[in-house]
Structure 1
Amino acid sequence: MGAKPGRSPIWARRRLVAGIRWRTRTGTPWRDVPERYGPWGRMYDLFRRWQRDGTWQRILAELQAQVDAKQLITWDINVDSTVCRAHQHAAGARKRGACGSNRPVVSPPSRTTTGTDARVAA
């Protein structure tokens, strides 16, 4: 009586979730998930469906609540300044700014070389 009509699922949801966990832990593309977890398309569909309906957020909130109730987690915030980086265009920038220099910005006149100068230089 409790059985749902239709085709029974070939891959257990537990195995698909294990494949999703493996993929997120390793960071590999979906197509590279081992076959023992099931077809990658089914895993991706389940992942996206749970992402859209908020299941992953509810799982995270419940796990955090359980760990917090057992006082196994601390909620301290640590900001590390070593991750602050300058923009790529900041390297080699002028130190004074555009108007700080008193020298003219013209280059010295170039000396033209004539046929007689070339023979003398050689």
Structure 2
Amino acid sequence: MGSGVSWRDLPARYGPWKTVYTRFRRYALDGVFTRVLQQVQAKADALGDIDWLVQIDSTVVRAHQHAAATGRKGGSTAGTNRTITPTADPEED
């Protein structure tokens, strides 16, 4: 599977890829990146430099390939016209 960072392809200036990966993993598990992001956001918010409005453009939001499975043999959705209505209690289904 070819997802994520290709650690072995890091430029030599960063040092051995195993060292970079080990440090990255340790920082991620320790919450370093989360704390840095929170501090940067807090400073930007205090200066009025951050806009908390979030918009999602549905032209770039894609469902995972397995989200399209219908549970029927063949997996085809042709000819189906189902409306999904959310309920207050998911256990009611």
* Range into which the TM-score falls when normalised by the shorter chain: 0.5 to 0.7
- State the TM-score, normalized to the length of structure 1: 0.47
Q: Which has the higher contact order (CA 8 A, sep 6+)?
A: 1
TM-score, L = length of structure 2: 0.60
1:65 paired to 2:50: no
Aligned length: 68
Task: Tell me which of 12, 35, 41 is aligned to 2:12.
Answer: 35
Residue 78 of structure 1 pairs with residue 63 of structure 2: no
What SS does the corresponding residue of 2:49 show, helix, strand or coil? coil
Shift in CA distance, 74/40, structure 1 to aligned 2, threshold 3 Å: same
- CA distance 1:38–1:95, shift in 2 (3 Å): closer
Aligned to 1:94: 79
SS of 1:81's partner is coil
For the aligned residue pairs, the C-alpha RMSD in angstroms reads: 2.4
Q: Which has the larger radius of gyration?
A: 1
Residue ranges of structure 2 left out of the alignment (5+ in a row): 70-75, 82-93
| TM-fit CA distance, 1:34 | 0.6
Other structure's SS at 1:62 match? helix
Code of the aligned partner of 1:43: V
Counterparts in 2 of 1:74 and 1:47: CA distance versus 1, 3 Å: same
Distance 1:81 1:62, change over 3 A: same
Q: Which structure features the higher share of helix residues?
A: 1
Q: String of CA shifts for 1:62-86, please: whole Å, max 9, x gaps.
A: 1111111111110002132324567
Structure 1 segments unaligned to the other structure (5+ residues): 1-26, 97-122
